């Protein structure tokens, strides 16, 4: 058993070094593809910070003063519910101070100064309003009405604040996702071709192996390991790239004026670690798939 | 040990390589398959080690139906067979020892078994002392001995030889034949395809003659004609 494992790794390493040019190309391609995959996740997560308060078709947020009385809050609630033809009453949500504070932690993740000024006591609670009507003017006129209610601090409309970012986010997500998928396919193809070349170079050996009764798995495994290594190395390289990019971005964003929204566009380091692990897994998978196809397809050389 | 029942094999739709071939080879037999190039000798050998599958008929080896065997069992079938070829099929970047050891290595034999069996079989084929040579440093006869050592190192039940003397001069060929006879005496069944009259006539073994894929003669202690 140990002899077999040792054999597989020895053969993998020998073959890995033999085709250096192709190997480097395969690794670089998978690294770039995986970098894009990772970037997609990070960009998406960063935008999510900005969009978190508008999630679920929320078009209007009524911020309630932190010192509002329960009577005032209940009056606001009833006023909103009084327009069921315009407002989707079932989807109306009230976030109390604690919930609002949790949300604020995400919105101000890159803006610690602002966040430090907020506490679960002084933060406004909020009503998240989902309209039924398609007419933005109707929603706008309602917002004017709510603004004059006692206890209301402010009313924010998605149209004014985040429509652009939401559209931008969707566009960026689509573009990066498509590009990374295309590049992943290219990476599989390049790994496939590298393994095929490696097998072709050793077709005599494979022929002898088959004739003396080596199992197909015995022949296949070193080649599959080689492809796996390509994918993993690509993954490691892209993790490094991702870390550098993210650090540079986070540092750059920290210099922005607080409250512009840009400072929300950062991700927590725990999330970055998760994405890196995911990238390594995808890399290994891409390598294994590419080489497995090649190894099965060309075993009859 | 080996039985063919009404075996027909075609390449494409036109070329009939073997037509309705039947024979029975007992354990320990030494059999020549003779006939001109293209008469189907090599195809018969390839049917026996399942490099090919017949269109009709059955091939039995050591009590197993080779054609109905699952793909995953084929490697284990082949571990019972040694293969020797006209062009030796040695690996040029490996030494004599490594070439022979390779056959054991790839079927998962541990190192200590390899280190014990390879020198024994190299001694048997008369290559003791040449373990560290590379194939290109050997004569044709010596290269064929390496390939026989590789085929025999796992002590197979059957030895399949396809024109093993085809590239060798008569004297060297005789040496190879003496070696195959010695291997046959250990109880290994030997099936050898050849069109070398001299070899067949000198040995007086069973002869199966083929003509355009059809068995035209099956004779004990035969000659080439």
Task: Please write the tens of the pLDDT for every residue from A98-117.
Answer: 888 888 888 777 677 778 88
**Both tokens assigned to B224:** 């080439």
- Residue-wise pLDDT tens digits, A154-176: 888 777 666 677 777 788 888 88
User: What is the pLDDT at residue A163?
Assistant: 67
Count of positions (residues) in chain A? 301
**Both tokens assigned to A18:** 């033999």
Q: Are B26 and B78 in contact (CB under 8 A)?
A: no
Residue A259 above 60 pLDDT?
no
- Domains defined along chain A, listed by start: 2-52+164-297 (no CATH), 53-160 (3.30.70.3040)
Q: Are B188 and B30 in contact (CB under 8 A)?
A: no
List CB contacts (< 8 A) between B77 and chain A: 213
How far apart are the C-alpha atoms of B85 and A41, rounded to whole Å? 58
Query: Rounded mean pLDDT of B180-204?
Result: 93
Q: Which helix (H) or strand (E) element contains residue A194?
A: helix A163-201
**Rounded-to-10 torsion of CA A82, A85, A89, A95:** -70
Interface of B with A (CB under 8 A): 49, 71-72, 75-79, 81, 83, 89, 91, 102-103, 105-108, 110-111, 150, 154
8 Å CB contact of A218 and B79: no
A205 CB within 8 Å of a chain B CB: yes
Query: Rounded mean pLDDT of B166-173?
Result: 92
- Output the DSSP codes for A1-50: -HHHHHHHHHHHHHHHHHTHHHHHHHHHHHHHHHHHHHHHHHHHHHHHHH
**Both tokens assigned to A256:** 């922005």
User: What is the pLDDT at residue B126?
Assistant: 93
Of B135, B52, B153, which Cα lies nearest the Cα of B96?
A: B135
User: What is the pLDDT at residue B19?
Assistant: 92
Q: Which of B49, B81, B106 sits opposite A218 (nearest CB)?
A: B106
Q: How far A211 CA lies from chain B's nearest CA (Å)?
A: 6
Query: Rounded mean pLDDT of A17-35?
Result: 86
- Of all residues in chain A, the percent with pLDDT exceeding 70 is 92
8 Å CB contact of A4 and B108: yes
Exposed e or buried b per residue across A142-152, where buried means at least 16 C-beta atoms within 10 angstroms of its C-beta: bbeebeebebb
User: What is the pLDDT at residue A257?
Assistant: 63
Q: Are B60 and B46 in contact (CB under 8 A)?
A: no
**Rounded-to-10 torsion of CA A78, A83, A85, A91:** -40
Count of positions (residues) in chain B? 225
8 Å CB contact of B106 and A209: yes
Beta bridge partners, A131, equal A87
Average pLDDT over all residues of chain A: 83
**Both tokens assigned to B86:** 């006209």
Q: How confident is the model at residue B218 (pLDDT cuts 50, 70, 90)?
A: very high
Q: How far A214 CA lies from chain B's nearest CA (Å)?
A: 5
How far apart are the C-alpha atoms of A246 and A237, rounded to whole Å? 14
Beta bridge partners, A295, equal none
How far apart are the C-alpha atoms of A294 and A192, rounded to whole Å? 5
User: What is the pLDDT at residue B30?
Assistant: 95
CA dist A79 → A33, A74, A154 (Å): 52, 9, 15
**Both tokens assigned to A169:** 């986010």
Number of A/B CB contacts below 8 angstroms equals 52
Q: Which helix (H) or strand (E) element contains residue A70?
A: helix A70-81
Residue A133 above 80 pLDDT?
no
Q: How confident is the model at residue B185 (pLDDT cuts 50, 70, 90)?
A: very high
Query: Rounded mean pLDDT of B89-117?
Result: 92
Q: Which of B78, B103, B105 sits opposite A7 (nearest CB)?
A: B105
Query: Rounded mean pLDDT of A242-255?
Result: 84
Residue A184 above 50 pLDDT?
yes
Q: Which of B71, B81, B89 sits opposite A208 (nearest CB)?
A: B89
User: What is the pLDDT at residue A260?
Assistant: 60
- Residue-wise pLDDT tens digits, B119-131: 999 999 999 999 9
**Both tokens assigned to A62:** 């009524």
Q: Are A61 and A146 in contact (CB under 8 A)?
A: no
- First-residue to last-residue Cα distance in chain B: 27
User: What is the pLDDT at residue B8?
Assistant: 92
User: What is the pLDDT at residue A301?
Assistant: 44
Query: Of A145-149, B13-17, B130-134, which has the strongest mean pLDDT?
Result: B130-134
Q: Which of A204, A212, A216 sits opposite B107 (nearest CB)?
A: A212
Query: Which alpha helices (DSSP H) does chain B contain, by range?
Result: 41-48, 74-78, 96-105, 111-124, 140-152, 170-185, 197-203
How far apart are the C-alpha atoms of B103 and B190, rounded to whole Å? 19
Q: Are B141 and B168 in contact (CB under 8 A)?
A: yes
Pairwise pLDDT comparison (B45 vs A92), residue with the higher score: B45
Q: State the angle between helix axes of A203-211 and A163-201 in degrees (0 to 180), rounded to the nearest 10.
A: 70
Q: Are B72 and A213 in contact (CB under 8 A)?
A: no
Q: Which of B49, B89, B105 sits opposite A204 (nearest CB)?
A: B89
Exposed e or buried b per residue across A70-103, where buried means at least 16 C-beta atoms within 10 angstroms of its C-beta: eebbebbeebbeebeebbeeeebebbebeebbeb
Query: Of A82-91, A115-124, A246-255, A283-292, which has the strongest mean pLDDT?
Result: A283-292
Say which residue the tokens 């504070």 belong to. A101
- Of all residues in chain A, the percent with pLDDT exceeding 90 is 10
- Residue-wise pLDDT tens digits, B171-182: 999 999 999 999
8 Å CB contact of B78 and A205: no
Q: How confident is the model at residue A77 (pLDDT cuts 50, 70, 90)?
A: confident
Query: Rounded mean pLDDT of A196-223?
Result: 88
Average pLDDT over all residues of chain B: 92
Of A132, A144, A135, which Cα lies nearest the Cα of A62?
A: A144
User: What is the pLDDT at residue A56?
Assistant: 67
Backbone angles phi, psi at B76, to 5 degrees: -70, -35
Order of all β-strands in the sheet with B189-194: B81-85, B158-162, B189-194, B30-34, B206-211, B214-219
- Domains defined along chain B, listed by start: 2-219 (3.40.50.300)
Q: How far B10 CA lies from chain A's nearest CA (Å)?
A: 20
Of A119, A139, A122, A10, which Cα lies nearest the Cα of A62?
A: A139
């Amino acid at each position: 058993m140990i002899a077999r494992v040792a054999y597989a790794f020895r053969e993998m390493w020998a073959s890995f070094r033999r085709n250096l040019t192709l190997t480097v190309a395969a690794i670089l391609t998978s690294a770039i593809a995986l970098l894009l995959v990772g970037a997609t996740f990070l960009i998406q997560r960063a935008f999510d910070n900005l969009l978190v308060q508008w999630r679920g078709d929320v078009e209007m947020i009524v911020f309630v003063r932190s010192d509002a009385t329960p009577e005032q809050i209940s009056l606001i609630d009833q006023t909103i519910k009084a327009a069921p033809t315009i407002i989707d009453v079932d989807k109306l949500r009230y976030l109390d101070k604690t919930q609002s504070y949790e949300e604020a932690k995400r919105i101000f993740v890159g803006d610690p100064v602002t966040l430090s000024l907020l506490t679960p006591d002084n933060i406004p609670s909020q009503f998240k309003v989902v309209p039924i009507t398609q007419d933005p003017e109707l929603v706008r006129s309602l917002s004017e009405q709510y603004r004059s209610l006692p206890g209301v601090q402010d009313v924010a409309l998605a149209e004014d604040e985040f429509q652009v970012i939401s559209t931008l986010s969707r566009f960026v997500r689509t573009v990066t996702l498509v590009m990374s998928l295309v590049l992943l396919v290219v990476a599989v193809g390049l790994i496939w071709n590298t393994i095929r070349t490696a097998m072709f170079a050793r077709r005599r050996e494979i022929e002898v192996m088959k004739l003396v009764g080596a199992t197909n798995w015995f022949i296949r495994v070193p080649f599959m390991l080689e492809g796996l290594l390509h994918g993993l190395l690509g993954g490691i390289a892209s993790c490094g790239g991702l870390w550098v990019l993210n650090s540079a971005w986070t540092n750059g964003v920290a210099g922005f004026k607080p409250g512009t929204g840009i400072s929300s566009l950062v991700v927590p380091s725990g999330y970055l670690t998760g994405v890196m692990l995911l990238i390594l897994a995808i890399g290994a998978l891409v390598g294994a798939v590419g080489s497995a196809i090649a190894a099965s397809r060309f075993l009859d050389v | 040990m080996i039985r063919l029942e009404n075996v027909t094999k075609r390449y494409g739709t036109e070329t009939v390589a073997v037509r309705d071939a039947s024979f029975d080879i007992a354990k320990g037999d030494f059999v020549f398959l003779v006939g001109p190039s293209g008469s189907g000798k090599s195809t018969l050998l390839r049917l026996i080690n399942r490099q090919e599958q017949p269109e009709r008929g059955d091939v039995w080896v050591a009590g197993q139906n080779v054609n109905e065997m699952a793909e995953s069992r084929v490697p284990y079938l082949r571990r019972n067979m040694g293969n020797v070829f006209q062009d030796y099929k040695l690996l040029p970047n490996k030494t004599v020892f490594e070439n022979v050891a390779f056959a054991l290595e790839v079927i998962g034999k541990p190192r200590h078994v390899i280190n014990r069996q390879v020198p024994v079989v190299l001694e048997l084929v008369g290559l003791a002392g040449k373990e560290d040579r590379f194939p290109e440093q050997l004569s044709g006869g010596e290269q064929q001995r390496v390939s026989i050592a590789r085929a025999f190192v796992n002590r197979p039940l059957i030895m399949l030889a396809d024109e093993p003397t085809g590239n060798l001069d008569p004297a060297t060929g005789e040496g190879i034949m003496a070696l195959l006879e010695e291997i046959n005496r250990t109880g290994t069944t030997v099936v050898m395809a050849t069109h070398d009259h001299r070899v067949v006539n000198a040995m007086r073994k069973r002869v199966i003659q083929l003509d355009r894929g059809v068995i035209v003669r099956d004779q004990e202690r035969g000659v080439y004609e």
